[in-house]
């Protein structure tokens, strides 16, 4: 049996990021949402793949609007997309007015205090500073409530000084198409958007795009779907996978039936086994919840296309996998942790979490390789 070997240099594993797939996903979503504009959410270091390469590739593909969570992320996006519109979703951070204004970043204003502060900053500079308005329609996190939005709509001077270029809200249950809150939020958002005639509107996140044209408004804001994540609860992702995670086998040891593997002696081997050790653990974002124990299987990996189980507890820097049925596996053989045979959704399920958390939790210790980087 011939198996691929993997050289990760000085790192324990390699994270390969397919930028062509990222672009293809954006184009797919843009086509689904047309004629609405398709932006890109690149917060959390572009969901773990790297904000610089991601923004550069999407901007080159024609994406003109980006959303980040923090001002610092906006600054990094600005360095590779100097002419793009960049919104800061988490609003007007205390002390960040000058940074935002100087970099041309637009805060998404979600409280009366933020609106007042941003308007004052524009007056102090002698020109309005662009922003967006966030109206809460049922998430109950950030955002103006409907009464606050009505009050703002009645203050033409304040509205002009705050200079909103977008009114937006965020869906709480878009990944569950039949959830009644979706319809209620749509009705509330239409009422809120009507308070600000002439402003472009945005409601749909990744899953919201798939709810149909009623939810797409003038601009959609896909996030996880760009990176290959699922858009509907309990269903496989319709998007192209963007990342692959592989690690080489450090060593293989023969362990007799009845022996245990890893911390806590959590799993007892039922047969004489060949156990492969990988230099990946929960410090890399491969969560301990995917461990195996007696009576409960854990996550799975793939070797040469053959899916095999994780053995015992995942530790900080190491994990064990069963290669008894892969006789050609040896030191240096490549093991797929996320990829064609073990998808992102499979890993999330084994960890008891969602695609978002797996993506954004991927550690910085991996060797990163970008495919088709321009």
Q: Each residue of 343-374: pLDDT tens digit?
A: 999 999 999 999 999 999 998 899 999 998 76
pLDDT of residue 233: 86
- By CB atoms closer than 10 A (0-12, 13-18, 19+), residue 198 is exposed
Question: In degrees, to the nearest 5, what angle opens at C-alpha 186 toward C-alphas 181 and 189?
Answer: 120
Positions of the chain with pLDDT under 50? 1
Only one residue has tokens 């959410």, namely 41
**Bridge partners of residue 201, in order along the sequence:** 167
Q: Angle 180-194/146-153 helices, nearest 10 degrees? A: 10
pLDDT in tens, 120-159: 999 999 999 999 999 999 999 999 999 999 999 999 999 9
- What does DSSP say about strands 306-311 and 164-168: parallel, antiparallel, or unpaired? unpaired
Q: Cα(187)–Cα(175) distance, rounded to whole angstroms?
A: 18
320: left (phi over 0), alpha (psi -120 to 50) or beta: beta
Residue closest to 203 by CA, chosen among 151, 147, 143:
143
**Bridge partners of residue 106, in order along the sequence:** 87
Q: Cα(25)–Cα(216) distance, rounded to whole angstroms?
A: 17
Q: Cα(112)–Cα(134) distance, rounded to whole angstroms?
A: 11
Please, what are the domains in the chain? 19-227 (3.20.20.10), 243-371 (2.40.37.10)
pLDDT of residue 235: 87
pTM reported for the whole predicted model: 0.94
The catalytic residues are: 43, 263
pLDDT of residue 1: 46
pLDDT in tens, 16-31: 999 999 999 999 999 9
Q: What is the DSSP letter of 134?
A: E
**313 and 288 in contact (C-beta within 8 Å)?**
yes
Q: Strand, helix or coil at 369?
A: strand
pLDDT of residue 107: 98
CA 55, distance to chain mean position in Å, is 14
- What are the φ/ψ torsions at residue 178 (nearest 5 degrees)? -90, 0
């Amino acid at each position: 049996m011939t198996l691929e070997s993997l050289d990760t240099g000085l790192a324990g594993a390699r994270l390969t990021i397919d930028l062509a797939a990222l672009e293809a996903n954006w184009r797919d979503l843009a086509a689904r949402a047309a004629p609405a504009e398709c932006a890109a959410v690149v917060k959390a270091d572009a969901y773990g793949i790297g904000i610089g390469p991601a923004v550069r590739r999407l901007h080159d593909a024609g994406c003109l609007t980006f959303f980040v969570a923090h001002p610092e992320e906006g600054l990094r996006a600005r360095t590779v997309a100097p002419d793009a519109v960049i919104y800061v979703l988490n609003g007007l951070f205390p002390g960040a007015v000058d940074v935002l204004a100087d970099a041309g970043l637009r805060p998404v204003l979600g409280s009366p205090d933020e609106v007042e502060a941003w308007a004052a900053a524009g007056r102090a500079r002698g020109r309005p500073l662009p922003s967006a308005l966030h109206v809460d329609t049922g998430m109950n996190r950030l955002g103006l409530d409907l009464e606050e939005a009505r009050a703002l709509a009645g203050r033409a001077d304040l509205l002009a000084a705050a200079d909103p270029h977008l009114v937006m809200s965020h869906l709480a249950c878009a990944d569950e198409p039949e959830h009644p809150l979706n319809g209620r939020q749509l009705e509330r958002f239409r009422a809120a958007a009507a308070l600000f005639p002439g402003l472009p509107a945005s409601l749909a996140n990744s899953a919201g795009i798939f709810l149909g044209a009623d939810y797409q408004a003038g601009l959609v804001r896909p996030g996880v779907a760009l990176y290959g994540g699922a858009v509907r609860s309990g269903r496989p992702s319709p998007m192209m996978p963007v990342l692959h995670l592989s690690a080489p086998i450090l060593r293989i040891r023969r362990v007799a039936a009845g022996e245990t593997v890893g911390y806590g002696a959590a799993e007892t081997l039922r047969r004489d086994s060949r156990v492969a050790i990988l230099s990946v653990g929960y410090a890399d974002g491969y969560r301990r919840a995917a461990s195996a124990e007696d009576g409960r299987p854990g996550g799975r990996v793939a070797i040469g296309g053959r899916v095999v189980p994780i053995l015992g507890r995942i530790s900080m820097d190491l994990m064990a996998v069963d290669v008894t049925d892969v006789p050609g596996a040896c030191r240096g053989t490549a093991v797929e942790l996320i990829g064609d045979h073990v998808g992102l959704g499979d890993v999330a399920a084994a960890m008891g979490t969602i695609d978002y958390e797996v993506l954004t939790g991927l550690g910085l210790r991996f060797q990163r390789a970008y495919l088709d980087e321009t």
